[in-house]
Amino acid sequence: MLRYTPQYRKTTQTRISTLTWKCSMSAITAIDFETIFRLAPIGMCVSQNRIIHACNDDLANMFGYRKQDLTGLSFQVLYPSPDEFERTGARITPIMNARGCYSDERIMKRANQELFWCHVSGRGLHKDDPHAAGIWTFEDLSAKRPVTAELTPREREIAALLVEGKTSKLIGRQIGLSPRTVEMHRAKLMKKFSAATSSELVHKLLGIMR
């Protein structure tokens, strides 16, 4: 009769554990990361100096382009105006230098010129130069937050900061305007959205109130 000693059991368990680990590593190696990137259920792209180096299907569909048409283009084509592209890049640079990542909600532009609210998140791959290379995600918020008023580039910029809960003083410091000028733009936004208070304006910008 075959007898299983404690040493035999220990050796067998070790071999099984090693075999399981090797199978797990083989499964990880077999993962097709290119397919995962392409089919991810959120817009994704890799950038170099704010130029789109690669993007996935969801990002191309969201903005109404073919993937091959976006590759090699500046992020500027996704912005409502060149000024907003430049100001956003300048605004996020010190934040990414400090944190290594950035996230906000802003109004972007599709290929057909339609404007829509979008949640954007990104991470720089080089600590000393956040725009040198990065990976970015884009989430379309238009289903729950449509753009319902025609806004100027500056109003769009301030609206995006208002929904983050920032005060006029903080907004002014961040975009290089006086608090008084920010308040002037806030008043214009309130009029365009028929908002009686600043709180109501934010709720309408967020799509909580119509």
Q: For the segment 80-119, what is each residue's pLDDT rounded down to a tens digit?
A: 999 999 999 998 999 898 998 999 999 999 999 999 999 9
Same fold across 33-147 and 148-210? no
Neighbouring CB atoms inside 10 A of 134's CB total 23
Helices 179-192 and 198-205 cross at an angle (nearest 10°) of: 60
Give 142 or 18, the one with higher predicted confidence: 142
Q: What percent helix, strand, coil does the chain show, rounded to 5?
A: 50, 20, 30
SS3 (DSSP) at 72 = coil
Query: What is the rounded distance in angstroms from the CA atom of residue 180 to the CA atom of residue 169?
Result: 8
* Range of weakest confidence among 29-33, 48-52, 119-123: 29-33
- Cα dist. 139→46, 154, 178 in Å? 15, 22, 31
Query: What is the rounded distance in angstroms from the CA atom of residue 4 to the CA atom of residue 82?
Result: 76
169: which 2 tokens?
């003083």
Give 203 or 13, the one with higher predicted confidence: 203
Average pLDDT score, the chain: 86
SS3 (DSSP) at 102 = strand
Q: Where are the domains of the chain?
A: 33-147, 148-210
The rounded percent of the chain whose pLDDT value lies above 70 is: 84
**CATH C-level class of 148-210:** mainly alpha
pLDDT of residue 2: 46
Query: What is the rounded distance in angstroms from the CA atom of residue 105 to the CA atom of residue 140?
Result: 10
Report the Cα 66 to chain-centroid distance in Å. Answer: 20
At the fourth CATH level, the homologous superfamily of domain 33-147 is PAS domain (3.30.450.20)
Query: What is the rounded distance in angstroms from the CA atom of residue 58 to the CA atom of residue 71?
Result: 14
Average pLDDT of span 118-124: 95
Specify whether the CB–CB gap between 120 and 126 falls below 8 A: no
